[in-house]
A = this chain, B = another copy of it.
């Protein structure tokens, strides 16, 4: 007998996706619903969500109704907020209940957080009392806390069960749990006693008692912990789930690895945005309005522009000296640029190391000492290259007579000192930010550049005054 399996390859089959959407539109137009049903009932929620995003708006609701109940719910989680809201408006109360009954509570909460008040009320009105209670509790955890990303649907076992009893518990209740691969052993007060994984259960003899096989050193998060540390712990210990306890150490939920990965990506994006002086946004780029993106960018641009007042003041105060040695002006952008780049390299490296927990505050002297050595190497190398380049290109090739040996020296000495300063400032500021509980990521390129701009100008004009006597 031949089994018909459909093998989908993650890279090449993306191209075929558009064809699938076209076929589906065709079938919708022809109202060949039963054929369509057969086709999509085997598909993946994530792919279905992608297809829905490409369908004409009017067809979305029809398409969604063709999905089997459980798949419909799973797909509903994957589509974007706007489409969720539109669909909810087309739902009857019965349909609404059907979808939301199939969802895990943490997914429901994620959806509620994005919906307008009216929709939230309607959803809550259509959930049973117990679920509503859980939802309301989860909604109260602060954003970015472990409580806000946990789910309450986990498998809880009694330590006196046998392995085969435990497997029976999983068989009975597992379908509704977000993961069955890590089960928690608690006493009657929900105090955590141990952990058993599905692997332990499956590879132990059926008549063993849970208490004998469970691991008793349990690593837990508190509901109020930063969600980032939960992710770090999951990654560090290679767990698929981490238990979350309240202040009395009672188990209240778990965070699963798939939610953790999403947090990881979000946090990396946030860091990158902050490093580029952008207020982090939650939505994908194409979903943001131009106005929303403008609002996330303009405060920093204004702040950094105003801070450039200092560079202007420094230049103005040296205006007369510059008038006598106008050639010096031409090298201001190069000096400031190289200083900015040098400082950014250091600050970004340190910021990333801090966020990956590779660095702690106590390492600050090791970091500075390392950066000083790197700065001497970089500064020396750049100064030499710059000296040669100015002489060969600007003096000889472009025959700029204003460039004397002394002028060249002034530029290169300033460059060396600027690079040194920039790298030290770039390394220290993120660590200081961490020390005073600020996010180190804001101490990245734009901020460092603004500081280095001022420092490099001061250095440049001091060196020029000293060497050239202007």
A positions within 8 Å CB-CB of B = 3-11, 42-46, 159, 167, 170-171, 174-175, 180-181, 192-194, 198-199, 202-203, 211, 216-222, 225-226, 229-230, 232-238, 240, 242, 245, 249, 257-258, 260-262, 264-265, 268-269, 271-273, 275-278, 284-286, 290-291, 293-294, 297-298, 300-302, 304-306, 308-309, 311-313, 315-316, 319, 322-323, 326-327, 329-334, 336-338, 340-342, 344-345, 347-350, 352-353, 356, 358-359, 363, 366-367, 370, 373-374, 377-378, 381-382, 385-386, 389, 393-394, 398, 400, 419, 444-446, 449-450, 453, 457
Contacts and interface: CB of A to CB of B under 8 A. Distances in A.
Name the 10 nearest CB pairs between A and B, nearest first: A308-B334, A276-B348, A290-B373, A311-B333, A268-B268, A285-B353, A294-B377, A312-B330, A238-B258, A315-B330
Contacts of A347: 276
12 contacts: A6-B216, A42-B216, A44-B217, A44-B237, A264-B265, A272-B275, A284-B358, A285-B352, A290-B374, A294-B377, A298-B377, A308-B337
A225 B203 CA distance: 34
Contacts of A273: 348-349, 352
B337 A326 contact: no
Contacts of A174: 199, 202-203
B198 A276 contact: no
Q: What number of copies of this chain does the assembly contain?
A: 2
A216 B345 contact: no
Given A203-B175, A330-B312, A275 B240 contact: no
B353 A334 contact: no
B304 A337 contact: yes
A398 B366 CA distance: 43
A219 to B, nearest CB: 5
Nearest to A305: B338
A329 B104 CA distance: 62
A174 B199 CA distance: 8
Nearest to A243: B7
A322 B311 contact: no
Given A285-B358, A389-B306, A7 B249 contact: yes
A356 B265 contact: yes
Nearest to A168: B202
A348 B217 contact: no
Max count, chain B CB within 10 A of own CB: residue among A240, A306, A337: A337
Nearest to A239: B258
Max count, chain B CB within 10 A of own CB: residue among A42, A222, A419, A449: A449
B225 A11 contact: yes
Contacts of A4: 216
B366 A286 contact: yes
B181 A198 contact: yes
Contact of A218 (B8, B203, B268, B342): B8
Contacts of A238: 46, 258
A318 to B, nearest CB: 9
A10 B219 contact: yes
